[in-house]
Amino acid sequence: MKPVQRDRVDVAGGSLELWQGDITQFGPEIEAIANAANSSLLGGGGVDGAIHRAAGPALLTECRSLGGCPTGEARITGAGRLPQRHVIHCVGPVYSQRNPAESARLLASTYRAALRLARDHGLNSLAFPAISTGVYGYPLDEAARVALSTLAEHLATGRPPRRLLLVLYDDAALRAHQEALTQLVEERSLRR
Ligand code: AR6
């Protein structure tokens, strides 16, 4: 399904947006998409599989040359056949392997690493999937709070990228992120 915008808040003149649909279906107006990868960076199921299928074999060839990526970090490549300039591969934590505080630290860390790479490559728009909330088993409501507060903190610095999208695949993920956004808007007095 082509992504549809469902919600949006303004943070320091930047835009934090909730979308629903398939992250591989954006056009070139979104300069980069993030992938929820594993530390081998050699592909997998879920959104990783969808991104590699859409991007074609050039993406895997480029990923092979990177030699993997530790949990909590990110790596950037071209986007193969996708219309974006880059794919940023994020390795989130497997929720059951650590205590909740350590998982939250690593999840925030991979979002921040992706934002740094985007800024270093002159990107102004970046779309994320809900990292770790599928195969990696991160509870949706907790992951939504971590993701949204990390993205809002980035926007509050005033640095690029200034347009951040979280792309939710199903209704449960969308609901969890809408609730977390409502909480964030109240806590930080943001404009919806
Ligand atoms: N567009 C947007 N979101 C999607 C799409 C899509 N096309 N497909 C799935 N999602 P997951 P993880 C959502 O499992 O939990 C892979 O095998 C999905 O509903 O893709 O970080 C990797 O290689 C969920 O909310 O990633 C790793 O081994 C979210 O994307 C492992 O899975 C993330 O689900 C990473 O697990």
Tell me: the pLDDT tens digits for 8-67? 999 999 999 999 999 999 999 999 999 999 999 999 999 999 999 999 999 999 999 999
**pLDDT recorded at residue 111:** 99
The finding on whether 136 has its CB within 6 A of some atom of ligand 1 is yes
Q: Is the pTM of this model over 0.75?
A: yes
Has residue 192 been placed in a domain? no
pLDDT class of 72 with cuts at 50, 70, 90: very high
Has residue 182 been placed in a domain? no
Question: What is the CB neighbour count within 10 angstroms for residue 182?
Answer: 13
**pLDDT recorded at residue 178:** 98
pLDDT above 70 as % of the chain: 100
Mean pLDDT of 75-86: 98
pLDDT class of 190 with cuts at 50, 70, 90: confident
Q: Which residues of 23-44 are buried (b: 16+ CB within 10 A; e: fewer)?
A: bbebeeebbbbbbbbbeebebb
Find how far residue 36's CA is from the centre of its chain: 7
Q: How many domains is the chain built from?
A: 1
* 18 contacts 7 by C-beta, under 8 angstroms: yes
Has residue 66 been placed in a domain? yes
Has residue 7 been placed in a domain? no
Has residue 180 been placed in a domain? no
Residue 107 CA, ligand 1 centroid: distance in Å: 14
Crossing angle of helices 46-55/57-64, nearest 10°?
110
Mutation choice for ligand 1 from 26, 90, 110, 135, CB with most ligand atoms inside 8 A: 135
**pLDDT recorded at residue 53:** 98
Residue 72 CA, ligand 1 centroid: distance in Å: 16
Residue 48 CA, ligand 1 centroid: distance in Å: 6
The finding on whether 94 has its CB within 6 A of some atom of ligand 1 is no
pLDDT class of 189 with cuts at 50, 70, 90: confident
Q: Which atom of ligand 1 is nearest to the CA of 24?
A: 7
How many residues does this entry show for the chain?
192
The finding on whether 160 has its CB within 6 A of some atom of ligand 1 is no
Write the CATH number for 163. Answer: 3.40.220.10
Q: Which of 25-34, 106-115, 124-133, 181-190 has the lowest mean pLDDT?
A: 181-190
Domain that holds residue 88: 15-173
Mean pLDDT of 186-190: 89
Q: Which atom of ligand 1 is nearest to the CA of 51?
A: 7
Mean pLDDT (the chain) is: 97
Has residue 9 been placed in a domain? no
Query: Hey, which residues are catalytic here?
Result: 48
Residue 158 CA, ligand 1 centroid: distance in Å: 29
The finding on whether 125 has its CB within 6 A of some atom of ligand 1 is no
